[in-house]
Amino acid sequence: MEEILRVENLKKYFPLERSFIERLLTRKRRYVRAVDGISFSVRRGEIFTLAGETGCGKTTTGRIILRLEEPTSGKVFFDGTDITQLRGEELRRLRRRIQPIFQDPYASLNPRMRVGDAIKDPLEIHGIAEGEEARKMVLEMLEKVGLTPPKKFYNLYPRDLSGGQRQRVAIARAMILRPELVVADEPVSMIDVSLKAAILELMLKFKEELGLTYLLITHDLAVARYVTDRIAVMYLGKIVEQGTADQVFDNPLHPYTKALMIAIPTPKPKRRRKIPIRGEVPLSPVNVPPGCRFHPRCPYATEKCRREEPPLVEVEKGHLVACWLAQ
């Protein structure tokens, strides 16, 4: 299978605001190392998940791929081209091929635009269709995403719709361009439990029909488990484990991944789980500890873990871990 997306040593550092005194006394800046050197590739037609807790850098990575954010360093290759260098007209043409689905269906739609116009806009932006022809395409799309009768939904405003319905509109807007890669950032985390599967099914349906590739970004490993082919777990800006769904879920090697698996609630009564990690994710990835980032919380940390940062190494085919103990 060919590779559609490749991320190489991607870094994104956000400079911290300095107080007046700091500005006077030193030239050094402090940074939030949101993404600190990650590399991975996604194959055409697969679902690849970037998983992790808040602050791990997965959302920032997604935004860089969507060109909503510039990387501090590193490259992102889409279909062979380094997209971080694209500007102007080329960038616009690229956007047609990579589309987002955002987490918050309440915030991702323009409150002053009717549903029909919101879905029609991309067609006009890229000169695909106009007027009556565009309208027809939108009505078809509304039908496809289950917002029927389409004529009624065409004229509604986002505020007239429920969360699930709005997310369908957002999906329609993304899909009408027939993109090749969809970056879905927590697409169902704000949807009711009883409706999550419906949205996921819709996303899978489009995948079939358009031959899409998904980069799924989520903290909900249960949802990831349900749809993903491969997964990379992130912690404090780095990938700590990566592999196929079966590899990572059935045989997690990194202590953090193990802890995540245990921590996820499954509806089995009275399960007292011992979470094998202490403390919690630092407030922000500013003062990254030396050595392995995870060592302050790791019950198995050794001297080496405290001093040297473990590299991401393949321990079985396709399964990579960044941990001294797994190597």
Partner 1 sequence: MALLEIKGLKTYYFLPDSVVKAVDGVSFSLDKGEMLAVVGESGSGKSTLGLSILRLVPRPGRIVDGSIVFDGVDLVKLPEEEMCKVRGRKIGAVFQDPLTSLDPLMRVGEQLVETLLTHFEMSREEAEAEAKRYLELVGISPERFYDYPHQFSGGMRQRVMIAMAVATKPSLVIADEPTTALDVVMQAQIMDVFTRLKEELGISFILITHDIALAVETADRIAVMYGGHLVELATSEEIYKEPLHPYTKALLEAVPDVEARDRKLRYIPGNPPDLSSPPPGCRFHPRCPYATEKCRREIPPDVSVKGRLVKCWLYG
Partner 2 sequence: MMLLESLAKLLRRRPVDTSLTLAGAAIVAAMAFMALAAPLIAPYDPYVSVDKALLPPSSSHPMGTDNLGRDVYSRVIYGSRIVLTVVLTSTLVSMAIGTALGLVSGYFGGVLDRALSVVMDSIYAFPGLILAIAFAAMLGPGVYNTIVSISVVYIPTYFRMVRGQVLSVKSSLYVEAAKALGASHGRIMWRYILPNVLPILPVIFSMNVADAVLTEAALSFLGVGVPAPTPDWGFDLRNGQRNLLAGYWWPSTFPGIMIVVLALGFSLLGEGLNELLNPSRRW
**163-175 helix and 193-210 helix, angle to the nearest 10 degrees:** 10
Query: Can you tell me whether residue 241 is helix, strand or coil?
Result: strand
By beta-carbon proximity to partner 2, the closer residue of 113 and 281 is: 113
Name the binder of 40 from partner 1, partner 2, none, CB < 5-8 A by kind: none
Name the binder of 16 from partner 2, partner 1, none, CB < 5-8 A by kind: none
Q: Tell me the backbone φ, ψ of residue 315, rounded to 5 degrees.
A: -105, -25
By beta-carbon proximity to partner 1, the closer residue of 135 and 166 is: 166
Q: How far apart are CA 164 and CA 154, in angstroms?
A: 16
Name the binder of 283 from partner 2, partner 1, none, CB < 5-8 A by kind: partner 1
Name the binder of 99 from partner 1, partner 2, none, CB < 5-8 A by kind: partner 2
By beta-carbon proximity to partner 2, the closer residue of 95 and 293 is: 95
Residue 220: count other Cβ atoms within 10 Å of its Cβ.
16
Minimum CB–partner distance for residue 282 and partner 2 (Å): 26
By beta-carbon proximity to partner 2, the closer residue of 93 and 307 is: 93
By beta-carbon proximity to partner 1, the closer residue of 27 and 271 is: 271
Tokens of 280: 């919690």
Residues that bind partner 2 (CB under 8 A): 66-68, 91-93, 95-96, 98-100, 102, 104, 107-113, 121-122, 125-126, 170, 173, 177
Residues that bind partner 1 (CB under 8 A): 53-54, 162-165, 192-198, 200-201, 219-223, 225-226, 245-246, 249, 259-273, 275, 277, 280-283
Name the binder of 233 from partner 2, partner 1, none, CB < 5-8 A by kind: none
**270: Cβ contacts below 8 Å, ≥ 6 apart:** none
Name the binder of 164 from partner 1, partner 2, none, CB < 5-8 A by kind: partner 1
Q: What Å distances lie between residue 199 and 81, 82, 250, CA to CA?
A: 31, 32, 26
Minimum CB–partner distance for residue 280 and partner 1 (Å): 5
By beta-carbon proximity to partner 2, the closer residue of 184 and 253 is: 184
Q: What Å distances lie between residue 192 and 103, 196, 197, 204, CA to CA?
A: 13, 6, 10, 18
Residue among 8, 68, 64, 5 at smallest CA distance from 34: 64
Q: What Å distances lie between residue 62 and 3, 59, 65, 69, 248, CA to CA?
A: 17, 5, 5, 9, 21
